[in-house]
Amino acid sequence: MIRFLFKGILHDKSRSLLPVIVISIGVMLTVIMYCWLNGIKGDSIAMNANFSTGHVKVMTRAYDKDAEQMPNDLAILEVNKLMKKLRTNYRDVEWVKRVRFGGLIDFPDANGVTRAQGPVIGWAIDLLSPQSGERKRFNLEKSLVQGRLPSKPGEALISDLFAVKFHVKPGDTFTFFGTTMDGGMAFKNMIVSGTIRFGVSGIDRGAIVADISDIQDALRMEDAAGEVLGYFDSGRYDNERATAIATDFNAAYKADTDEFAPVMLSLRDQEGMAEFIDYLNAVSAMMVIIFVLAMSIVLWNAGLLGGLRRYTEFGVRLALGENKNHIYQTLIYEGFFIGTIGTIIGTLLGLGASWYLQTVGFNIEGMMKNSSMLMPSVARAQITRTAYYIGFIPGLFSMVLGNALSGIGIYKRKTAQLFKELEA
């Protein structure tokens, strides 16, 4: 029977061509949209983790309440002692200390008079230690536009857009003005070793990256840091693992009422990341449901039209003694085979388009000029294992459902009516 059905599908193009085309297009769009949303979610999570949240983050309770303001007066004291404890208790996590800061940088002319100045947002990270993974985490090698990366104390990187705007070149000196940890004025003379472009509008408008020892010295934060971030060895965020580590750490300080006691948060619990992740997951699920319903309606209509064309065929088969249930079952099987063919074609087309989007990407920089959210300016797809079979959900289900609904007319077919039709 299976061979018979396949022959019917292949030889009768009017029965199978339209459904296969509809299913292929629907499945292709489903795969592309799934991979694209998955890529945006993955890139956004990775970027936020690398620049801001870590997979887990430790701050003081007071700092956590106003973290967006980068309140370094509420920073962690004796941070080296805390780092040692974290590395001992959680050996499979890489711990790094950082200072996020803001301020003003001033570029003098040959006479020492200000020729350009502007506000900046900065990251103080471990740039000079050979074993540090911060350069890779910030993707500094690929983000470098001019000059070189810092190789000694007193050197810093600034955003290329900022450098172009104020005609700054590598080798130029500048003075950083900021606020010390105890509320005083901070001054630090530094050299521009190079310029960088991260591809994130909110950062590229004015950013500075310097070694943490220089910023600790400028802000009088010896043995202090605003944040301690933890990264899993796998490089990927695992919410269950992050939650377990944060719960275990926070349990040790549960009885401590000091507002400067440390608190650990997972990535999901920071800066609206939970809402962002849930939103993308909901959009992905809704997308599949919409395609299933839309294609089911289209295929139902196609099945009804095909059923009208095959009205006489069903009557003849009934006249020959074939059972109505058997005819209905063969119609379901036929829908399954057509759905499988269309799904395979659509999945291959969708994976091909997704591979292109994963390799080349789609530039959305123009849509993010005023965005402050950490998202890549080039949206890329990400092909995962799920992409290879997610198309079977709308592809098979919609075709089988469409045939099942249109096939109900079989039970209304009467053999007696067939003879009247044939006589006419």
CA torsion sign for 46, 49, 54, 57 is: negative
How is the chain split into domains, by residue range? Answer: 2-47+275-423, 56-234
Higher pLDDT among residues 18 and 156, named by residue: 156
Report CA torsion sign: 338, 343, 346, 352.
Answer: negative
**pLDDT for residue 372:** 47
Q: Identify which of 45-59, 107-121, 308-322 has the greatest average pLDDT.
A: 45-59
- Which two three-digit tokens encode residue 56? 């887990």
Q: What is the pLDDT of residue 375?
A: 55
Residue 311 binned pLDDT confidence (cut-offs 50, 70, 90): low
Inter-helix orientation angle 273-309/311-319, to 10°: 60
Determine the Cα–Cα distance for residues 68 and 36; give it in Å rounded to an integer.
Answer: 30
Task: State residue 83's pLDDT score.
Answer: 93
pTM > 0.75: no
* pLDDT surpasses 70 at 88: yes
Considering the chain, what is the average pLDDT of its residues? 82
* Structure confidence at residue 357 as a pLDDT band (50, 70, 90): confident
- Is 90 exceeded by the pLDDT of residue 298? no
Confidence at residue 417, expressed as pLDDT on a 0 to 100 scale: 58
Across the range 63-79, mean pLDDT stands at: 90
Residue 396 vs residues 60, 113, 196, 347: alpha-carbon distances, Å: 53, 72, 49, 12
Q: How confident is the model at residue 262 (pLDDT cuts 50, 70, 90)?
A: very high
| Choice among 11-15, 143-147, 185-189, 328-332 with the minimum mean pLDDT | 11-15
* Tokens 């990187």 found at: 157
User: Has residue 177 got a pLDDT over 70?
Assistant: yes
With 0-12 CB in 10 A as exposed, 13-18 as middle and 19+ as buried, what is 96? Answer: buried
CB crowding 221-251: b at 16 or more within 10 Å, else e = beebbbbbbbbbeeeebeeebbbebbeebee
CB 304 within 8 A of CB 406: yes
- What is the arithmetic mean of pLDDT over 74-99? 93
For residue 420, what pLDDT is reported?
A: 52
List CB contacts of 192: < 8 A, sequence separation 6 or more.
Answer: 147, 155, 156, 157, 158, 163, 168, 169, 170, 171, 172, 173, 174
Q: Do 167 and 116 form a contact (C-beta atoms < 8 A)?
A: yes
Whether the per-residue pLDDT at 180 is higher than 50: the answer is: yes
312 confidence band (pLDDT: 50, 70, 90): low
Identify which has the larger pLDDT, 334 or 261: 261
Q: Kindly report, residue by residue over 380-421, the tens digit of the pLDDT.
A: 788 888 889 888 877 787 777 777 777 776 666 665 555 555
Strands 56-60 and 185-196: unpaired
Q: Are 193 and 149 in contact (CB under 8 A)?
A: yes
pLDDT in tens, 185-200: 998 999 999 999 887 7
